[in-house]
A and B are shown apart, each in its own frame.
Chain A
Amino acid sequence: MSIDLGGLTLANPVMVASGCGGTGRELAAYVDLHELGAFVTRTITLNPRAGGPVPRILETPSGLVHAVGLQNPGLEPFLASELPQLVQQGARVVVSIAGTTLGEYAELARRLGRAPGVAAVEVNLSSPDAVASGVLDVREPFHAANVVAAVHRELPRGLPLLAKVRPDLIRVVESARTVLEAGAAAVVVGNALPAAMPDGRPAGLSGPAIRPLALRCVTEVRDALPDAAIVGCGGIADEADARSFLAAGATAVQVGTALLHDPTTAARLARALTTDREVIG
């Protein structure tokens, strides 16, 4: 019994959220990557990014505040080493991308569209420190839709595009609607909330602290867009959390911060939710 997420077929509804699975090699010590619904890579940019200064991640009650600054090796080294390694492990690979211009997004889409083993592309439209990191400012749904359209144009037909929008309750329905109209096959509802490090640097807040808010966003999008394929994301840590998102209308869920605390979480959730679906049919 598999799941159809806007054309992306998943063995179960559990996905690793972008930026929380390392290169895949590290997580593989605790879970067979092919057991997961999908592995979403850290956000890849055209050129390498060194990321921000330390401290990059701090603990807050029920959450983590983080300002990693989208550190990644850039597209070329990713295609040369990280992607083949993920594919070899049988992962269903969704590549998260961000760019500084529409042209960069198009280029990323073009190259990834030809890369063997890419199951889908997730456009990161909701990096909480995007502006500070220097990636394209897509806080306006109109701009986000432009990016989605540019990526969609370049992707081969049949390669699904996921759009990850910010869990901003006021704008989330409008964001979801515009990116779906622009060609997204599914909308990922939820990313870190915009926050600040104690020294004032722009950052994101993730973890159980934002879960109820992310759940509300999923509910609103489901109510407004009954046919949309939705992925719920935000502070999901156990089976009950995942089920509440699925019950609210998400087709799949992404697990992030919980993996940093216990890397076996993804395997446990995947197993629990796979069995469940098989029993129920």
Chain B
Amino acid sequence: MSPVAEPTTATRTPLHVTGELLATKKVGAYRHLTLVAPGVPERFRPGNFVAVSIGAPGSDTTRLARRAFWIHQVKPVGGYGPTLQLVVEPTGPGSQWLASLAPGARLEVTGPLGRPFALPKEPVSCLLVGEGYAAAPLFPLAERLRERGCAVNLLVAGADEAHLLSALEARRSARAVTVVTRDGSVGLRGEVADVVDDVLGRSQAAVVYAAGPLATLHAVAVAAEAHGAWSQTAVEQPLTCATGLCQGCPVPVVGEDGVARRVRACADGPVLRGDRVRWAELLGEAGEPR
């Protein structure tokens, strides 16, 4: 039995809580943070994320914009109940501050946020494609899919070994794992776009799940379309509020009614059907890195 109960609709509303950093671990180019955030893990579904305030709670130096991070794992830690694990790539002032925190630090956390990955009703074959830190939400997804009897195929990519989320722990949920690095340090040399067609053909996947840079998501959506598979893409945009209030993270899509509109990556996404996203427009107006 799963240690964390499956949430019901009533308990899926996000919470705003003061959490505590339990543990922090450097893994390659990333920091894995383990957080206690009461009530948040219980509501988690793969594809959800959390928003974190940058700066100690109540301090004058708190930054106004919040930072969003994929939930990588929910697991019980003795004495604390279920905890959240986030993967942080320290690139800007916000993520660097988070990565520098010592255990015991208090953090303001809002979550779980965003629409999660939709799970197939039938036990079909699935391909999960993740690049860089964005592969984080695919590991809990793999577990959920396996519980449903789906055959799980993983394609994990990164610039180099340091930017590759370890597929080791996922191997037990996966039927096949393909690794691609840009410099060829691990696995195949190249990009997701170079291999996704081939992997998709071999896996016979009916559903493709993807998380990574926009160009990668686009390549996956195109490949899925060509193979007649559904695609679920986790679209990342720089977020200001992360809760759906500010309309700062537009994603151009075509609605079910055929009408072109812009939805919010945070509240209407981040997971969107790949065939609904207007990729050309999205790639033309990609935001700045945080």
Contacts and interface: CB of A to CB of B under 8 A. Distances in A.
B108 A64 contact: no
Interface stretch (B61-69, B97-105, B192-200, B221-229): B61-69
A261 B247 contact: no
Interface in B202-249: 237-238, 240-241, 243-249
Interface stretch (A53-61, A160-168, A211-219): A53-61
B16 A30 contact: yes
B237 to A, nearest CB: 7
Given A257-B64, A261-B64, A261-B66, A64 B243 contact: no
B288 A59 contact: no
Please classify how large the interface on chain B is, using the bins under 10, 10 to 19, 20 to 34, 35 or more. Answer: 20 to 34
Contact of A56 (B110, B244, B247, B286): B247
Given A64-B65, A261-B65, A262-B53, A57 B248 contact: yes
A20 interface: yes
A89 to B, nearest CB: 13
B247 A68 contact: yes
A22 B248 contact: no
A55 B16 contact: no
Contact of B250 (A26, A56, A58): A56
Contacts of A66: 246, 248
B119 interface: no
Interface string B25-63: 000000000000000000000000000010000000011
B113 to A, nearest CB: 9
A9 interface: no
Nearest to A259: B245
B247 A71 contact: yes
Given A20-B245, A27-B245, A54 B65 contact: no
Interface string A23-49: 101110110000000000010000010
B65 A259 contact: no
Nearest to A49: B262
Interface in A154-211: 207-208
B240 A26 contact: no
Nearest to A257: B64
Contacts of B245: 20-22, 26-27, 259-260, 263
Contacts of B14: 29-30
Given A22-B267, A261-B64, A68 B248 contact: yes
A23 B243 CA distance: 11
Given A26-B267, A71-B262, A262-B108, A57 B285 contact: no
A57 B65 contact: yes
Contacts of B65: 57-59, 64, 260-261
A51 interface: yes
B261 interface: yes
Interface of B: 13-14, 16, 53, 62-66, 108, 110, 237-238, 240-241, 243-250, 261-262, 267, 285-288
8 contacts: A25-B244, A55-B248, A56-B249, A66-B248, A71-B250, A208-B64, A257-B64, A261-B62
